[in-house]
Amino acid sequence: MIKLKKFLSSGKINLILIGVIIGLVVGITAGGGGLAGRVQAGKTDLVDMQYTFRAVSADVLPVVVEIRVVEVQTQVMPKGYSWPFNFIDPEEEGPAETQEYETEGLGSGVIVRKDGNKYYVLTNNHVLGSADRITIRLNDKSEIKAEIVGTDERKDLALVSFFSDKPLETARLGNSDDLYVGDWVLAVGSPLGYESTVTAGIVSAIGRNGPRENISDFIQTDASINQGNSGGALVNLDGEVVGINTWIATTTGVSIGLGFSIPVNNIKNAIDDFIEDGSVQYGWLGVTITDPDQITAEDLGLTGMTGAIVNNIYENSPAGLAGLLPGDLIIKVDGQEIKDYKHFTRAVGDIKAGETIELTVIRNKEQIKLSALIVLRKNREELIELYDYIWPGFTAIPLEDKLKSEFGLPESVGGVIISVEPGTRAFKSGLKDYDIITVINGNEINNMMDFYQSINDKNNKYRLNIIRNNSEVIIEMEK
């Protein structure tokens, strides 16, 4: 890899930045030269910054590639259909026929690892889609066929591999935890097909939540990112990759200065997992979780606290065996404070199967500690098969006055309103979305504390009084 010292005698970018500051001070305070002296000092500072960007670009461009994908799709058409004229010959009309056609996609990737003459390129899962053919276009314009090593929807990551007899550089991965708001960064990729494009900006924010299905906390930057940048590199002024550019927020379809990158620290373990196992190996606790809303927090005595609240427990899972209960607020994992449910999901997911963790939870307004042995997370299909072993099998939220008004209920009615997980015992017992639970085993439910205390008692059978469509229904379910 081209080293920055080829451009800077000290080899340290931070020395240039210190020089920039010193130059500004000298230019302003020096008596000689007046305004002309300050202008010259400012020009020197800008030239130094220009050399910094030039050095970083030269260092990173060789390790960022363009990825072109082709997906073969099938379209069903009536017999006798003549494309592109949309004409059907009545004499040939008959059973439907199929015709294949190709769609193309474009993105970016980063060369992150090599093994002999085999190279690995990290990109976004959504860049590959259901690709049937993948072509890597290197910085020197050469093109090489590539194959998928592994994909992961939860972090929107994918790894592909290709072979090259010509030695190639690999990216240096930095430490995204060292980023601060205001830090300079460069985005490198192929926006709109313009390969080897470099844009500059700053870190606008860190720890941003993204699409609900993505568990990463994102780096926000105003470095210009557009379609085709996905999978490309976000780099710091040391030429280290600190993020993988993934998505933008826009009202126009093009960059408006709100780009988001997956922090590289969320990625490092995934690279190893892809190479060793073909997929990301997540740790699993066996819970469904969410962030507590304001009323739930008030009812449970959690106001002002951060963490992830447990909605459901998988029986015989690490959570169930550890003694976790629905309604517990998990505030720490191995002493690390939990900010929200996505933070908790990442924290547990990054723990290797077989490790024991300490959970700090709030239950009935008291803090307790539990130990759980993490296991390997099952795939989506296997988790769905376990839905029959989820307790209680639904998520409850407070019955606010606004909801009472919408359902035509008097203000005196107490209870919780639920959303039922399909395939669970609750679902099979007849519970439905928007059911309002008012009584459990004879105990009136006036708030979320009442609900969790009743659903967590030692009974194996539960009798629920439900309001459904302004009528009372009795549901019985077993634990």
Q: Which helix (H) or strand (E) holds 346?
A: helix 341-349
Can you give the length of the chain in residues? 479
Instruction: Give dist(CA 307, CA 300) in Å, integer.
Output: 13
Q: What 3-state class would DSSP assign to 426?
A: helix
d(CA 51, CA 70): 39
Catalytically active residues, by annotation? 126, 156, 230
Collapse the DSSP code of 308 into the 3-class scheme (helix H, G, I; strand E, B; otherwise coil) and give the result: strand
Nearest to 232 by CA among 70, 106, 132, 50: 106
**At residue 446, what is the residue type?**
N
Say if residue 84 is preceded by a cis peptide, omega within 30 of 0. yes
Contact assessment for residue 324 and residue 287, using Cβ atoms and an 8 Å cutoff: yes
Amino acid at 378: K
Rounded Cα distance, 454 and 439, in Å:
9
Residues 6+ apart with CB under 8 A from 68: 104, 105, 106, 134, 135, 137
The residue written with tokens 């990216």 in the block is 171
How many Å is the Cα radius of gyration of the chain? Answer: 28
Strands 375-376 and 283-284, by their bridges, are antiparallel
Q: Decide if 287 contacts 395 (C-beta within 8 A).
A: no
Residues 6+ apart with CB under 8 A from 463: 440, 441, 442, 474, 475, 476
User: Distance between terminal CA atoms of the chain?
Assistant: 60
Fill in the DSSP letter of residue 81.
E
Question: Quick one: which of 301, 254, 339 has its CA closest to 448?
Answer: 301
Q: What is the distance, to the nearest Å, from the Cα of residue 248 to the centroid of all Cα atoms in its chain?
A: 13
String of DSSP letters for 195-220: -SEEEEEEEEEEEEE-STT--PEEEE
CA distance 123 to 33: 52
- Rounded CA separation 334/357 (Å): 6
Q: Which of helix, strand or coil describes residue 120? A: strand
Q: Cα angle at 469 between 464 and 470, to 5 degrees?
A: 80
∠ CA 251-256-258, rounded to 5°: 95
332 in Cβ contact with 317 (< 8 Å)? no
